[in-house]
Copies of this chain bind each other. A is one copy, B any other.
Amino acid sequence: MKDKVSTAVIQRLPRYYRYLSDLLEENVERISSSDLAARMHVTASQIRQDLNTFGGFGQQGYGYHVPHLHAEIGKLLGIDQQKYLIIIGAGNLGQALANYQNFTKRGFQVKALFDIDPEVIGRTIQGAQVFPLEYLEAYLEKNAIDIATLTLPRDRAIEVAKRLCRCGIKAIWNFAHTDLQVDEDVLVENVHLSESLMQLSYRMIAARRKQKKTEETGDTGTGERSD
């Protein structure tokens, strides 16, 4: 296995895992890289290259053994190990994440939520209680938590991230619309929703521009014929 794995490969791993989970559910035991490629709308050589990063898993002339490959990628993604999360910010987004069954299936368990709003403090969401934010340090002292999720406004997120680092949290899943400045050994995974929406918007405008260009050069692209 390579020491440095590219971000692009890491980003694609969960997608492989998802397709392999589907194959498992369909009781498919074995699949060639070209069949898997056709399903995933990628090239077979990309699949082989990606999986070779981790030492292969495939056999010449046999293809991939689905349960084995599923288990191996699961191990790489840590799905075989239970991980405990807290969510800071129990608004709509925090509650949506706490309710999300897909996480539980993949070994992520939400243990508690934190908020400053008396309206939500004391509620229980899928077995996880909402505590007052001031209880954060005391809670982390008594409970082993792997990942802290931030679903807070950006100013508050920056401050809370610092508190989390002081408590020894090493992984932050950040939904606040800011880049957190944390210690070097703290991992941050950002989900910037409005940036995703802006990317879509960019592509809409680029498509419109391209269409306009096509129209100007004579090809209307409307599919209309005069026959």
Contacts and interface: CB of A to CB of B under 8 A. Distances in A.
A74 to B, nearest CB: 9
A200 B177 contact: no
Given A92-B93, A179-B41, A79 B191 contact: no
Interface stretch (A7-15, A25-33, A133-141): A7-15
Interface in A161-216: 170-171, 173, 177, 179, 185, 187, 189, 191-207, 210
A10 B202 contact: yes
A34 interface: no
Contacts of A70: none
Interface of A is mostly: helix
A207 B187 contact: yes
Nearest to A95: B92
How many residues of A sit at the interface, in one of the four size bands? 35 or more
Contact of A78 (B15, B146, B192, B201): B201
Interface of A: 3, 5, 10-11, 13-15, 17-18, 40-41, 76-79, 81, 83, 91-93, 95-97, 99-100, 102-103, 106-108, 146-147, 170-171, 173, 177, 179, 185, 187, 189, 191-207, 210
11 contacts: A14-B195, A17-B198, A77-B202, A78-B204, A83-B204, A96-B96, A170-B204, A170-B207, A185-B207, A187-B204, A189-B199
